Amino acid sequence: MTTTSSTTTINTKITPFKSKLSSPLVKQEINILQINLGKRCNLACTHCHVEAGPKRTEELSTEVCQQLIELIYRFPQIQTVDLTGGAPEMNYGFKPLVEAARQKNKQVIVRSNLTIYFADGFSDLPEYFANNQIRIVASMPCYLADNVDKMRGTGVFDDSIKALQWLNKVGYGQNPYLILDLVYNPQLPTNEEFSLTPEQSKLERDYKKFLQENFNIVFNNLFTITNLPVGRTKLHLERKKIHTSYLQFLEFNFNLDTVENLMCRNQLSVDYLGNIYDCDFNQMMNLPAKTHDGEILTVAKLLEAGSLDVIDEIQTANYCYGCTAGCGSSCGGALA
C-alpha cells in the first residue's frame, strides 16, 4: 500500500478513540476464549507487544489452569480456545488446556513461533498438533530471510522454513482438518514515513508463490496484522521519537467499516493470573474488562456468575486505532 507521510497529512492532535465511534463499543455473545499462558518464550522479537523472552518466568498457575478448564467444560458457547504467549507451548498448562478443549470439541488455535519445535523438549509438537487437529497460526512477518531475522533474531527464518516443511510432512496445509495460517507483520518504522499493511489477499498470493517455488511449502491463509503501539513496538517508537506521529497516522486512516468485526467484540482475553480483558492489547496495557457496575473481572468471578456475557461496554484506548486503520487488523487478519 502507498506510503503516507504523517508529518504532512496528519493533524497535530489525537482524537480520543471513543469519540470516533457513532455508538459505544459493546460486546456480542462470547464465543472465543483467548488465553495468554505466560511470557516465557525462546525468542525476543523486536515487535513483540507481550515483551516475552527467554528470561521471562511469568506463566499460568495450577489454580488458574483448573479454573480455565472448568470454564471450557461449563460453557458450550465457547467455540474456539486460542492459546498464545510468549511461546504458549513453553508455558504451564498448554497441553491440559488443549486436551480439555478438544474433549469438548472446541477448535484450538496455537499461536506458534515455529522455532520452538527445535528447542529441547519440544520436538514432539508437530505430531502432537496434528493428532489433536490444532489450528496453527504461525508468525512469518515476511517471506524474505533478512527481514524475518531482523525482527525475530538471526537464524529464525531458516528454522521457520524447516518447521513449515515439517508441518507439511505431517499433513498441515493439505489435510482439511490441519489448518496452517501465517501472520505478516510490517517492519517497524524508523522515521515518519509510515505505511499500512499491504492488501491481504494479494500478499497471500505472493507468499504462497514464493514459498512453494523456493521451499515447496504450502499453507492455508495469510493474516496481515498491524503493529500496534504496545509493548516493544511502543518502546521502539518512543526511542525513535515517532510514537505520537504513528498514532496520528493510524487515526488519519481510521475506517469505521472495521468496527463491527473487531476481535474484542466476541472474545475474552485471559492473562496468566486469571484476569479478564477485552483483548490481548488491553491485557498488555493493563486495561481490564469491567462489568456495567465497574467490577473488574477474573476467571473465578465468571465461574461464580455462571455467565461469560457480563461485559457491556468494551474498554478502549488510542492504540485501538491500530485495529481500525485501513482494512483493519485482528488476530484473524484484515477486517474490511
Average pLDDT of 305-314?
96
Please determine, for residue 5, whether its predicted confidence score (pLDDT) is greater than 60: no
What is the tens place of the pLDDT at every residue in 78-135? 999 999 998 999 999 999 999 999 999 999 999 999 999 999 999 999 999 999 999 9
Residue 229: the pLDDT is 94
Confidence of residue 150 (pLDDT cuts 50, 70, 90): confident
Residue 192 to residues 4, 154, 187: CA-CA distances in angstroms? 9, 27, 13
Q: Tell me, what DSSP letter sits at residue 155?
A: T
Please determine, for residue 258, whether its predicted confidence score (pLDDT) is greater than 70: yes
Residue with the three cell numbers 518464550? 41
C-alpha–C-alpha distance, residues 244 and 156, integer Å: 31
| End-to-end CA, the chain | 15
Q: Could you tell me what percent of the chain has a pLDDT over 70?
A: 96
Please determine, for residue 8, whether its predicted confidence score (pLDDT) is greater than 60: no
Please determine, for residue 4, whether its predicted confidence score (pLDDT) is greater than 80: no
Give the other-Cβ count within 10 Å of 6's Cβ.
22
Please determine, for residue 332, whether its predicted confidence score (pLDDT) is greater than 60: yes
What is the tens place of the pLDDT at every residue in 212-222? 999 999 999 99
Q: Which of 146-150, 167-171, 218-222, 255-259 has the lowest mean pLDDT?
A: 146-150
Q: Which three cell numbers stand for residue 160?
A: 521457520
C-alpha–C-alpha distance, residues 146 and 210, integer Å: 15
Residue 152: the pLDDT is 76
Residue 144: the pLDDT is 84
What is the tens place of the pLDDT at every residue in 265-297? 999 999 999 999 999 999 999 999 999 899 999
Residue 65: the pLDDT is 98
C-alpha–C-alpha distance, residues 320 and 18, integer Å: 9
Residue with the three cell numbers 509510515? 194
Residue 43: the pLDDT is 80
What is the tens place of the pLDDT at every residue in 32-83? 999 999 999 988 887 778 778 889 989 999 999 999 999 999 999 999 999 9
Distance of CA 42 to the CA centre of its chain: 17
Average pLDDT of 225-237?
93
Residue 148: the pLDDT is 85
Confidence of residue 15 (pLDDT cuts 50, 70, 90): very high
Confidence of residue 146 (pLDDT cuts 50, 70, 90): confident
Residue 154: the pLDDT is 84
Query: What are the phi and psi torsion angles at 28 (to 5°)?
Result: -100, 180
Strands 193-194 and 107-112: unpaired
Backbone dihedral region for residue 94 (phi beyond 0: left; psi -120 to 50: alpha; all else: beta) = alpha
* Mean confidence (pLDDT) of the chain: 93
Residue 50: the pLDDT is 78
Residue 12: the pLDDT is 61
